[in-house]
Amino acid sequence: MNDVITIGDAMIAFNPSKTGPMKFVPSFTKNIGGAELNVAIGCARLGLEAGWISRLGDDEFGKYIRNFARGEGIDTSQVDFEKGHPTSLNFKEIMEDGSVRTFYYREKSPTATMKPDELSEEYFKQAKILHITGIFPGVAEQNLELTRKAIELAKQYGLTVSFDPNIRLKLWSKEEISEVSISFLPDVDILLAGVEEMEVIFGESDQEKIIEACAPYDIEHIVLKQGENGAVGYHNNQLVDAEAVLPTNVVDTVGAGDGFDAGYLYGYLNGWSLERSLNFANTIGSMVIGVVGDNEGLPYLEDVQMKLGEIERIER
């Protein structure tokens, strides 16, 4: 049984060989990106059983991504190759302060070939959490219907639904994002969102007003990610403000939110308190931004435990 399954588009992420404006970067290195796959990788490295539903181009990049996912221990039984739809790409621009701009090339995403009736009910029966994001529905028009079907199956078979809006304004408008995100909320059990994202969705940036706006949807866990200001969690009428964990160094902020999500889901599955789950997730986020790449910085469980001072690693 998979602890966490997710559905989404993966990409070859080309990371620049040096910082600065992309037009002056002479070369790039080939890596792998995609928020949903990143969460699956993060969960797997923490020791959870993770599965990923997707389509990849029937090309060398697609084969590379699937082999990489397999190597991370992710169940790729629901990943197929599609001819005529090249594997999605993105190029990153990283500035000296670690800020990032991303340039997408995913107009003919292989995931656009997926159909709702192709989702395996048996696969959903054998899982505990479905993690979705607001990226996948924005990649291709058909993906919205597919996401709704995934949510329907999750609720039918008693899965917990985790949702990270993960807003990408290069994919669709604020109005579309708000409408679709709000339509998901009645079925969401765990909301993992940035405060700025909730401002797009609800027009509110105050944490108490955001929680109040979420009240009609009866969301069990509301988590507001605030980057360098930590995170706020709301569960069972309890509000916890967790301080940020200071990173050793900031070199690439991409993937920090995905690592946070994986950490929080780990705490949820282990029945941890809200405070402990938030601290664990914040710790992972701080570790991710110290490494260049979308998922290269996602830590293994013992790395997080060592960072938290729970275990001691003997180096020699």
* pLDDT tens figures, 12-39: 999 899 999 999 999 999 999 999 999 9
Confidence of residue 316 (pLDDT cuts 50, 70, 90): low
pLDDT beyond 90 at 171: no
Give the phi and the psi of residue 70 in degrees, each rounded to 5.
Answer: -60, -40
Of the segments 41-55, 171-185, 294-308, which one has the largest average pLDDT value? 41-55
CB-based contacts of 188: which residues, under 8 Å, 6+ apart?
A: 161, 162, 163, 217, 219
Q: Which of 189, 258, 261, 303 is catalytic?
A: 258
pLDDT beyond 80 at 256: yes
Q: Whose structure tokens read 């002479």? A: 26
Strands 231-235 and 221-225: antiparallel
pLDDT on residue 314: 67
pLDDT beyond 70 at 128: yes
Residue 258 falls in the annotated catalytic set: yes
Which tens digits make up the pLDDT trace of 224-254?
Answer: 999 888 999 999 999 999 998 877 777 767 7
pLDDT on residue 98: 74
Whether 117 and 111 have beta carbons less than 8 Å apart is answered as no
pLDDT on residue 311: 82
Q: How far is CA 175 from CA 29, 169, 256, in A?
A: 35, 10, 26
190: number of Cβ within 10 Å: 21
Dist CA 1 CA 237 (whole Å)? 32
pLDDT beyond 90 at 194: yes
Q: Where are the beta strands (DSSP E) in the chain?
A: 2-7, 11-16, 28-33, 50-57, 75-82, 88-94, 100-105, 127-133, 160-164, 190-194, 221-225, 231-235, 238-242
pLDDT beyond 90 at 140: no
pLDDT beyond 80 at 292: no
Whether 223 and 264 have beta carbons less than 8 Å apart is answered as yes
Whether 52 and 42 have beta carbons less than 8 Å apart is answered as no
- C-alpha closest to that of 190 among 210, 218, 209: 218
Mean pLDDT of 177-204: 95
* Residue 157 CB-density burial (10 A; 0-12 exposed, 13-18 middle, 19+ buried): middle
Which tens digits make up the pLDDT trace of 258-287?
Answer: 999 999 999 999 999 999 999 999 999 999
Q: How many CA atoms, within 13 angstroms, populate the side-chain half-sphere of residue 259?
A: 29
CB-based contacts of 230: which residues, under 8 Å, 6+ apart?
A: 241, 242, 243, 244, 278, 282
Element (H, E) at 150: helix 142-156
Whether 14 and 28 have beta carbons less than 8 Å apart is answered as yes
Amino acid at 103: F
- C-alpha closest to that of 265 among 30, 29, 47: 47
Whether 100 and 253 have beta carbons less than 8 Å apart is answered as yes
290 vs 156: which has the higher pLDDT: 156
pLDDT on residue 92: 86
Tokens of 227: 């980057």
Q: How far is CA 117 from CA 12, 110, 152, in A?
A: 28, 17, 12
Mean pLDDT over the full length of the chain: 93
Q: Where are the domains of the chain?
A: 2-9+39-54+117-307
Q: How far is CA 46 from CA 165, 241, 260, in A?
A: 23, 24, 12
pLDDT beyond 90 at 302: yes
Class of domain 2-9+39-54+117-307 as given by CATH: alpha beta
Confidence of residue 101 (pLDDT cuts 50, 70, 90): confident
Confidence of residue 100 (pLDDT cuts 50, 70, 90): confident
Which tens digits make up the pLDDT trace of 39-98?
Answer: 999 999 999 999 999 999 999 999 999 999 999 999 999 999 999 999 999 998 988 887
CA angle centred on 212, ends 211 and 218, rounded to 5°? 80
